Structure 1
Amino acid sequence: MADTTCSLAAKICRSRVSSVLNKDTKQFGKNNLFDNSEETCWNSDQGSPQWILLEFGEEVCVKEIHIQFHGGFVGKNCWLESSQAGSKDLTKFHSFYPQDINQTQVFSLPEVVPLSSLKIVFDDSTDFFGRITIYKLDILGKDS
């Protein structure tokens, strides 16, 4: 792969989420995060924290996180955790603070981070009940 930054979504071999609204995985499940449809979303159930865990088939270098929330259901006090190849231990390495808006937000990492797993943690939500709604998620970077 060239030294250019591109979407790493195709390199995700497994994903998990903390919860799904009413356990309705067809309408609100994790697969909706990467389907490129403006009609679908991942919607967590209530409670905090909420999270998304992505496991890559190989070690990758992450540069940016792109997230499109539904206004009113936006993560607050968020951070990223990662593990490197051969390790299951996740380590917190970067905090970010989304705005309560509907547009796609880009969160650049101060340095390119090599990892095999990435956990996005939403410690709190702008929703009173702690729900998170995401229409689009993309991880940009390159092969390690």
Structure 2
Amino acid sequence: MAAPMNLQSLSDKIVRTRVSSVLNKDVKQFGKKHLFDGDEETCWNSDQGSPQWIVVEFSESVPVSQLDIQFQGGFVGKTCWVEAIQSGQESFVRLHSFFPQDINQIQNFPLPDTGSSLSSLKIVFDSSTDFFGRITIYKLEILGAS
């Protein structure tokens, strides 16, 4: 059995973040900057419609091992997946599906070892527990093996 990995945040490697939408275009209150600010009182809140997504670009290729996501209950992705641009590739390839619970706590989603580092990561929320398709995230942490 393999020894457990030491995971560390890759937030210092993030150079650009894009999101599918922001509720009422109010980026000050609900913008993408709130995904990584560490403030429990702030959040990214998408506008309505499906799918919603988050794209993260890294300063260098990094090995991504896990996503930690804290949703707002009632505004949780139901059918979700991760796409990535791996080293030497130019377009996103679907890597892994995950299915969050409709709760407010931080949820951990281990990703399969691709054997390759990633230059960009896309998290797709194909559907939502919200009738209008909105997603609300208080915390997103992208972790890699150290």
Name the TM-score class by shorter chain. Answer: over 0.9
Q: Which runs of 5+ in 1 are unaligned?
A: none
Specify the code of the residue in structure 2 equivalent to 1:123.
D
**Between the two proteins, what is the percent identity of the paired residues?**
67
Q: For the residues of structure 2 that align with 1:12 and 1:142, how far apart are their CA atoms?
A: 16
Q: For the residues of structure 2 that align with 1:61 and 1:141, how far apart are their CA atoms?
A: 5
Q: TM-score, normalised by structure 1?
A: 0.93
Which residue pairs with 1:134 in the alignment? 137
- Cα-to-partner distance string for 1:21-42 (whole Å, 9 max, x where unaligned): 0000000000000000011000
Shift of 1:84: 2.0
Q: CA RMSD in A?
A: 1.4
- Cα-to-partner distance string for 1:92-116 (whole Å, 9 max, x where unaligned): 0100000000000000113255210
Q: TM-score, normalised by structure 2?
A: 0.92
| 1:1-144 matches, cutoff 5 A | 4-111=6-113, 114-142=117-145
- Cα-to-partner distance string for 1:106-138 (whole Å, 9 max, x where unaligned): 001132552100000000000000000000000
Q: Secondary structure at the match of 2:113?
A: strand
- Cα-to-partner distance string for 1:50-69 (whole Å, 9 max, x where unaligned): 00000001000011100000
Conserved? CA contact 1:58–1:85, under 8 Å? no
Q: For the residues of structure 1 that align with 2:97 and 2:12, how far apart are their CA atoms?
A: 25
Conserved? CA contact 2:87–2:117, under 8 Å? no
Specify the code of the residue in structure 1 equivalent to 2:141.
D
Q: Which runs of 5+ in 2 are unaligned?
A: none
Q: Which moved more, 1:83-92 or 1:23-32?
A: 83-92
**When you count strand as a share of all residues, which structure comes out higher?**
1
Q: For the residues of structure 1 that align with 2:40 and 2:84, how far apart are their CA atoms?
A: 28
Q: How many residues align?
A: 141
Q: Secondary structure at the match of 1:58?
A: strand
Conserved? CA contact 2:49–2:132, under 8 Å? yes
